[in-house]
Structure 1
Amino acid sequence: MSFPLSRRRVFSGGLLAALAICAVLDVPAARAEDLSRATLTVVGQGEASAAPDMASLSTGVVTVAKTAEDALAGNSKSVADVIAALQATGIEPKDLVTSGFSIQPQYVYPQQGQREAPRLTGYEVRNTVNVKVRDLSTLGGLLDKLVQAGANQVSGMSFALQDPRAIEQQARLAAMADAKAQAQSLADAAGLRLVRIRRISPQPDMGPVAAAPMMMKADARAVPIQAGETTARAQITIVYDAEPR
């Protein structure tokens, strides 16, 4: 059956209008269904540990002499001996970095009430090197050799993994499992059913490094070292859609 052009236009326009009305009616229904769902937010914590395989420390020499030239000469010789001792134990040049150098005049100041000017007594030279030790079995002996070579400062010792990615991944998986377990437990207690995950927000990985500062003495021998464990920590926030059972 055929219709005149004008009637076909009216029919077509009416069909489009009906479809538009249906679409408008469907939107509030979908929104109402979405709003009827509760959201459940949980924060999962996870950690993983492993024995460290690398140590970092700072070592150096402090030298005091009457003149700046003498202080610098004595300090330079001692630092050269320290670096040679480090390299003799297998430390590569890439793992040695000068982190501080200074020359400072030393004064004796008059007591309160005296009008004397400060008196120059000499000069102090400090030279500090940061060291990475990639073979922990050599660390105790290395500290002993440093002191024998002339180092009179060792500080900022810390332990880490050369490649921490494995335990960081383990920590993230543990945090995810913890978040899921929390969500299921809370949903069961509230009489809810978890529908889907709406959002996952991992936080930056947290891996604290324990430091053990120390000051070496000239007669130190066979320094005992306890490396402990390196721990990676992770935190993940998960938002679930939930609905009544």
Structure 2
Amino acid sequence: MRFSAILLLLLAAASPVAAQDRMQVPPPGLPSLPADGPMRFMLHRSAAMPAMLTITASADVARAPDQLRMTAGVLTAAATAAEAMAANATRMNAVLAALKAAGVADRDVQTTGLSLNPQYRYEPNQSPILTGYQARNSISLRTMKLGDAGKLIDVAIKAGANEVQGPEFTLANSDAALDGARTAAVAKARARAELYANAAGLKVKRIASISEGAGAPEPGPRPMMRMAMAEAGAAPPVQPGELSLSAQVTISFELEGQP
């Protein structure tokens, strides 16, 4: 009996504290809420916030390339480093002279790599044996004469280049072409927002934010080169095709109205 009385006293003393802990204090400036105050407060805040809709849209445009890029290189091997470099320089000078004679300006040619590496032979249970040296020199070139692609490849190989990559067709000013894709992507996002808003019984009020995603020109099918063309004496057929440029935008729209 004594234990029960003490327990009842403890519960009576604790009950005001527990009741106080369950009370919800409204934010400053708002009137006191009844027992279901927290739920009404959340509804009040939700009603005050505008409905938002975020759309991500992308668009593509096709443009004909106006610039050609390719890489030509010379790889030589010799017993000594000096001999490898000398042979490489002779052949590369011949390649540069041939390209210049073909109409490529000096400002459109750039050295992209120059290296000299020792070559070893490896045998079981023996130290590596030096067998000679390899020298490599690579250049990149550009031209606006897309029709010269096959001819330039043929000229470089006949002059001594034994490593050729490309051609790669690009745009000299891709930003101007991308503007068309950006405009189309924004229009697509806007139309889609109107569609969703109308379906929900709302209207698009304004654009709250807009951001752009990654977009870049994508080359069409790469042309294939026949490396035997120098021996056959014919330039390879090369078609520039088209480039596809893509732009992506993410737009947040503020909606209005009652669904």
**Category of TM-score, reference length = shorter chain:** 0.7 to 0.9
Look up the SS of the partner of 1:91 in the other structure: coil
Aligned to 2:52: 39
Aligned to 2:92: 79
What code does the residue aligned with 1:186 have? Y
In 1, Cα distance between the equivalents of 2:82 and 2:205?
76
In 1, Cα distance between the equivalents of 2:129 and 2:209?
69
What code does the residue aligned with 2:175 have? R
In 1, Cα distance between the equivalents of 2:166 and 2:65?
16
Q: 1:36 to 1:76 in 2, by over 3 A?
A: closer
Residue 209 (structure 1) shift = 4.3
In 1, Cα distance between the equivalents of 2:216 and 2:177?
11
Aligned to 1:143: 153
What code does the residue aligned with 2:127 have? A
Look up the SS of the partner of 2:231 in the other structure: coil
**How high is the TM-score relative to the length of structure 1?**
0.78
In 2, Cα distance between the equivalents of 1:125 and 1:32?
72
Equivalent residues of 1:54, 1:134 under 8 A apart: yes
RMSD of aligned Cα (Å) = 2.5
In 1, Cα distance between the equivalents of 2:46 and 2:91?
77
Aligned to 1:181: 191
Residue 211 (structure 1) shift = 8.3
Q: Which of 228, 242, 245 is equivalent to 2:255?
A: 242
What code does the residue aligned with 1:88 have? A
Aligned to 2:71: 58
Aligned to 2:129: 119
Count the aligned residue pairs. 215
Unaligned regions of 5+ residues in structure 1, if any? Answer: 1-23, 26-30
Aligned to 1:107: 120
Equivalent residues of 1:91, 1:133 under 8 A apart: yes
Residue 202 (structure 1) shift = 2.4
In 2, Cα distance between the equivalents of 1:156 and 1:211?
12
Structure of greater relative contact order (alpha carbons < 8 Å, 6+ residues apart): 1
What are the superposed Cα offsets for residues 140-171 of structure 1, whole Å, 9 maximum, x if unpaired? 11111111100000115321111223321100
Q: 1:71 to 1:36 in 2, by over 3 A?
A: closer
What are the superposed Cα offsets for residues 166-194 of structure 1, whole Å, 9 maximum, x if unpaired? 32110011101110111011112211111
Percent sequence identity is 38
What code does the residue aligned with 1:230 have? L
Look up the SS of the partner of 1:72 in the other structure: helix
Equivalent residues of 1:158, 1:210 under 8 A apart: no
Q: Which of 215, 225, 231 is equivalent to 2:244?
A: 231
What are the superposed Cα offsets for residues 186-228 of structure 1, whole Å, 9 maximum, x if unpaired? 1122111112222222234433346848684552632121222
In 1, Cα distance between the equivalents of 2:92 and 2:127?
34
Q: Say yes or no: does 1:132 pair with 2:145.
A: no
Look up the SS of the partner of 1:219 in the other structure: helix
What are the superposed Cα offsets for residues 60-86 of structure 1, whole Å, 9 maximum, x if unpaired? 100111222221111101000111111
Equivalent residues of 1:154, 1:216 under 8 A apart: no
What code does the residue aligned with 2:121 have? V
